[in-house]
A and B are shown apart, each in its own frame.
Chain A
Amino acid sequence: MNQREPILKVRGVDVAHGHTPVLHDVTLEVGLGEIVTLIGANGAGKSTLLMSLFGLPRVARGQVVFAGQEITALPTHRIARLGLALVPEGRRIFPAMTVRENLVMGGESVNEMVLERIHGLFPVLHDRAGQRAGTLSGGEQQMLAIGRALMGRPRLLLLDEPSLGLAPLMIRRIFQALREIVVEGTTLFLVEQNANQALRLADRGYVLVNGCIRMEGSGAELLDNPEIRRAYLGGH
């Protein structure tokens, strides 16, 4: 069903926080240029899966392959330099630094072209370049977090709940920006609780229940699935 060459392959991965198992035998793939989403309830292990791709925490069993290279045991910073970028849950910008400084942190050196592209995507980041990042609104901070992750010109962008705590209008704007990012050639892997928005945006989706992949399919398929509608979309 997926003809595209996979950029990320997760095979039979188990992850535990200490002695508490969180993920069990998770297998999924993200194709080059795709938007893939992982939806699931609170505590299903979505964020843990994303973080474990970065080795925080380490995968206990299984294999993670990024762009043909196994990254299961690589140190976090090396993984990031391979072209995998994360927009962490809760944004995690540097509040005391300026907007521009935050962006600069994202790349090893300042690439003006990339910076311009990000400013084009989120003009507010240009307008507020000299402002303390902590004084931005939640939506603007999310834009900053995404912009910061894009500074390293990642091939695959991982997003952990970009819609968390944002107003509907802001969510729409951010999802619109995500579409543009994909058009420009970055693959997206998106973890969301906001299943409705995420499945509309995504080419394919996975459903995570209690640490196991329960279902997979195209975005539209999952949107129409009655079980999913009942469990994650509030039945409408």
Chain B
Amino acid sequence: MPRKLWDAVLAGVVALLLFVPLTGVSLSGYTLEGHWQRPLWLAVGVVLGRLLLGWFLERRQRMVGTTRRPGWITAWIDDHRPYIVIAAVIGALLVPWWIGKYWLNVAILALIYVLLGLGLNVVVGLAGLLDLGFVAFYAVGAYTYALGHHYFALSFWAAVPLGAMLAAGFGVVLAFPVLRMHGDYLAIVTLGFGEIIRLILNNWLEVTGGPNGLRVPFPSLFGMDFGRRASPGHVTLHEFLNIPYSNEYRDIFLYLLLFLVVCGMVFLVRRLRRMPLGRNWEALREDEIACRSLGIQPVTVKLSAFGLGAMTAGVGGVFFAASQGFVNPTSFTFLESAHILAIVVLGGMGSTGGVIVAAVVLTVLPEVLRDFAEYRGLLFGCAMVLMMMWRPRGLMGIRRARFHRSEVG
């Protein structure tokens, strides 16, 4: 008990030291004004928070050793898994018809992040390669469409496979020099690569338009436009179907298409995890020497993970460009990589369901809390700290095997 008090007081003192210069002084005209209550209240808050934290950690300590049964939520999810999946799919298909244009755009963004999260999850969660420059491949996808359209009149439908291939190509090219590195070194190299791509896009004015960005057209469906009036030689969707025009159609279309892609990716990852390749990813994450001695070539296995991750990001990038109608380099900063990584970590490394939930939450929540926009960073940080304490393996850490006699073998 005194130990906890001591910790709390110490935290309070540190908070006071920090908050006095940060919040205790404000500039008013040419003079400084002191607000001495402010840091004091903040420090009191920190002391109380630290006490609560100490209590929580102590309780957790006591629980170590006692067999912990999965909570009722986990059990319920396990029991009703197929129903939950069906309900989620139906829900996701109905959503665009209810919500307005604004939220539809948020939903599209959320789906793009789900896709990116799933891609990075293969690299980080399954293969254990910490990639801090994931956004580079996202940028490659987006700019494939933008530049492809600008210079070669590339259509959306051609840009999707091309963006995927180009991004995967970039991934493999980067992976070659990088794969002999481990952990931190790998993280730094990928971080650098992400910045290189962004800086090239930013500074190669003649080709990419630099910070001014590029306009990107909206996709068409079987040659039908979504605009109010058809471009020469084309038909618009609403004329073809004989329904009144609404500019929501194109967003709904994009949403549904993206949903299909996400479903495909979930299916692909699910299958891969049961195939030798997926097993090799996980084995390589756990012990590279053991893998080599079993005749697995680490380079090929890592390359495939990196390539698949990059490819997914490329597809996400094409969709991003199409949904925004415009790309410029500010969408591809390191912060974006960190955001995607946060999705993977919060969702639980390697867990598909967790990543989907985390991506949706991390995209929708900031929009819901737009009124508190100034405190977004603070809330986000607190949420991260709490998550790491409460569920260090993420929202839905992968639960693989449990203790039971198995019928296999």
Contact present for A88 and B293 (CB under 8 Å): yes
| Chain A residues, CB < 8 A from B404 | 130-131
Asked if A101 is an interface residue, CB under 8 A from chain B, the answer is yes
Which chain A residue lies CB-closest to B404? A130
Contact present for A76 and B292 (CB under 8 Å): yes
Asked if A127 is an interface residue, CB under 8 A from chain B, the answer is yes
Contact present for A94 and B283 (CB under 8 Å): yes
Contact present for A132 and B401 (CB under 8 Å): yes
A-B pairs, top 5 by smallest CB distance, nearest first, are A130-B406, A80-B295, A92-B290, A86-B293, A77-B297
A55-92 interface code vs B (CB 8 A; 1 in, 0 out): 01000000000000000000111001100011010001
Asked if B102 is an interface residue, CB under 8 A from chain A, the answer is no
Which chain B residue lies CB-closest to A132? B401
| One of B279, B294, B401 near A131 (C-beta < 8 A) | B401
| Chain A residues, CB < 8 A from B289 | 56, 88, 92
Instruction: State which residues 172-211 of A face B: CB under 8 Å.
Output: none
Instruction: State which residues 349-406 of B face A: CB under 8 Å.
Output: 400-406
Contact present for A126 and B294 (CB under 8 Å): no
Asked if B78 is an interface residue, CB under 8 A from chain A, the answer is no
| One of A56, A119, A129, A135 near B292 (C-beta < 8 A) | A56
Asked if A218 is an interface residue, CB under 8 A from chain B, the answer is no
Q: Which of A22-30, A31-39, A102-110 contacts its partner?
A: A102-110
Extra pairs beyond A54-B293, A92-B290, A109-B276 (7, CB < 8 Å): A75-B297, A77-B295, A88-B290, A100-B406, A105-B280, A106-B294, A131-B401
Which chain B residue lies CB-closest to A82? B295
Task: Give the shortest distance, in Å, between B389 (CB) and chain A (any CB).
Answer: 22
Which chain A residue lies CB-closest to B293? A86
Contact present for A77 and B287 (CB under 8 Å): no
Contact present for B282 and A80 (CB under 8 Å): no
| One of A97, A126, A149 near B282 (C-beta < 8 A) | A97
B270-302 interface code vs A (CB 8 A; 1 in, 0 out): 000000100110110011011111111100000
Which of B296, B406, B408, B409 has the largest count of A CB atoms less than 10 A from its CB? B409
| Chain B residues, CB < 8 A from A88 | 289-290, 293
Asked if A228 is an interface residue, CB under 8 A from chain B, the answer is no
Contact present for B406 and A129 (CB under 8 Å): yes
CB contact under 8 A between A115 and B409, given known A80-B292, A93-B290, A105-B283: yes
| Chain B residues, CB < 8 A from A80 | 292-296
User: Can you name 19 A-B pairs with beta carbons within 8 Å?
Assistant: A56-B292, A75-B297, A76-B292, A76-B297, A85-B294, A92-B289, A94-B282, A97-B401, A98-B401, A100-B408, A105-B283, A105-B294, A106-B294, A109-B276, A119-B409, A129-B406, A130-B408, A131-B403, A131-B404
Question: In whole angstroms, how far apart are the Cα atoms of A105 and B294 in the complex?
Answer: 7
| Chain A residues, CB < 8 A from B401 | 97-98, 130-132
Question: In whole angstroms, how far apart are the Cα atoms of A131 and B291 in the complex?
Answer: 20
Question: In whole angstroms, how far apart are the Cα atoms of A98 and B273 in the complex?
Answer: 14
Asked if A46 is an interface residue, CB under 8 A from chain B, the answer is no
Contact present for B286 and A95 (CB under 8 Å): yes
CB contact under 8 A between A132 and B279, given known A56-B292, A92-B287, A94-B290: no
Contact present for B400 and A97 (CB under 8 Å): yes
Taking Cβ atoms with an 8 Å cutoff, the residues of B that contact A are: 276, 279-280, 282-283, 286-287, 289-297, 400-409
Question: In whole angstroms, how far apart are the Cα atoms of A196 and B405 in the complex?
Answer: 37
Task: Give the shortest distance, in Å, between B298 (CB) and chain A (any CB).
Answer: 8
Asked if A152 is an interface residue, CB under 8 A from chain B, the answer is yes
Which chain B residue lies CB-closest to A87? B293
| Chain B residues, CB < 8 A from A86 | 293
| Chain A residues, CB < 8 A from B293 | 54, 76, 80, 85-86, 88, 92, 149
Which chain A residue lies CB-closest to B291? A105
Question: In whole angstroms, how far apart are the Cα atoms of A88 and B297 in the complex?
Answer: 17
Question: In whole angstroms, how far apart are the Cα atoms of A148 and B407 in the complex?
Answer: 19
Contact present for B283 and A77 (CB under 8 Å): no
Contact present for B282 and A77 (CB under 8 Å): no
Task: Give the shortest distance, in Å, between B392 (CB) and chain A (any CB).
Answer: 15
Contact present for B283 and A97 (CB under 8 Å): yes
| Chain B residues, CB < 8 A from A215 | none
Question: In whole angstroms, how far apart are the Cα atoms of A106 and B296 in the complex?
Answer: 9
Question: In whole angstroms, how far apart are the Cα atoms of A119 and B409 in the complex?
Answer: 9
| Chain B residues, CB < 8 A from A115 | 409
Which chain B residue lies CB-closest to A98? B401
CB contact under 8 A between A94 and B287, given known A129-B408, A130-B401, A131-B406: yes
| One of B283, B291, B296, B409 near A100 (C-beta < 8 A) | B409
Which of B289, B291, B403, B407 has the largest count of A CB atoms less than 10 A from its CB? B289
Question: In whole angstroms, how far apart are the Cα atoms of A153 and B280 in the complex?
Answer: 19
| Chain B residues, CB < 8 A from A98 | 400-401, 406
Question: In whole angstroms, how far apart are the Cα atoms of A104 and B406 in the complex?
Answer: 15
Question: In whole angstroms, how far apart are the Cα atoms of A88 and B286 in the complex?
Answer: 14
Contact present for B283 and A130 (CB under 8 Å): no
Task: Give the shortest distance, in Å, between A41 (CB) and chain B (any CB).
Answer: 23
| Chain A residues, CB < 8 A from B408 | 100, 129-130
Contact present for A152 and B286 (CB under 8 Å): no
Task: Give the shortest distance, in Å, between A109 (CB) and chain B (any CB).
Answer: 8
Question: In whole angstroms, how far apart are the Cα atoms of A148 and B296 in the complex?
Answer: 13
Which of B279, B283, B292 has the largest count of A CB atoms less than 10 A from its CB? B292
Question: In whole angstroms, how far apart are the Cα atoms of A107 and B137 in the complex?
Answer: 34
Task: Give the shortest distance, in Å, between A132 (CB) and chain B (any CB).
Answer: 5
Instruction: State which residues 116-148 of A face B: CB under 8 Å.
Output: 119, 126-132, 135, 148
| Chain A residues, CB < 8 A from B279 | 97, 101, 104-105
Which of A75, A130, A135 has the largest count of B CB atoms less than 10 A from its CB? A130
Question: In whole angstroms, how far apart are the Cα atoms of A109 and B404 in the complex?
Answer: 25
